[in-house]
Structure 1
């Protein structure tokens, strides 16, 4: 009997050790990671839909649903006087294409009334392949993000194929993913070279103004302590 109990103990110990040695991904994030009073008394999210959940790079995903700022909004939390509807994903893996609340274009911040119900619709475009949790998020000034329910979306394809093309008022078609990139790189190179020239000038030609003691130490070598005297 004792031998049997000892065997069960060893099996349990091995299972615990295996769990510690092979950690699993943590999924406790999003709305479930928020404190209870935030989930129950701030923004009530419902009828959340994300479609499709299987997509490819450059395909669009539509996020719809409703939310209600609670009439029992906690006094310790700033009210949604200045708020911004967004989508919560792990990094720039999607690009937001459209956003509306109650049928009104909502690309900017706005104010939401406590106790009122709002319909929202956000269109995002797949940018990077992977499996991501997509959340509606309401950013409230001085309060931070209030996260809604998340739904898994799996994106396939190649990130290098992503394009974000728009037509300007003059009729030109530009890819916002690459537009102006060469200009940014050019200015970085110019300022880097100027900064390098400035650094070399002051260190190697005018260094005595900033580093006299260091240069003197190099000149004296092992006798550098002779610089320090009682007088």
Structure 2
């Protein structure tokens, strides 16, 4: 579905932030992108999306016109549009059939407990509520690929549970998912493979069992392995 090959990238050609990051994501696969603050996770996402001033490498999608959804850590919205108007605008831009998107939108509003505020302006929402809107809008388009940056920040437990259920359904549909998160216990349960970044480089790629084997922590959690990697005992 996606082939990513980053030789180097950043905001200044003379000072690249990330180097030698190469990976792929298959259909129906969820990849966890993890690393400490400043490791280069968000920069990697921006490189994939083509949002960096300097990028040496390439990103290839299976489709010539890739259909992907990007869910940023900081919600982006139109201040003077209501939640329902955001949904209507998206449906219009994507040319979705009204009888289909209305039914799905109603289901999502109910699932995320947002039906009571669908005619309210997003400028009055909490960050968690805005994040729910970003999730709902991305799900509504059923993209081939999701690129998600810290989706659990600000979400209540029920919203997290509902989001994880939807991601499972989207995986089964064949969507490729790249999810960047610091919530390692959740990532351990839902991701098929992991990309661990440190100081702008990809240091480990593989399944949890592969990472455990390399860290010599057969029964260790992802957090245990991550701590050992950052301590420099493996790198």
**The structure with more strand, counted as a fraction of residues:** 1
**The structure with more helix, counted as a fraction of residues:** 2
TM-score range, shorter chain: under 0.3
Normalised to the residue count of structure 2, the TM-score between the two structures is 0.21
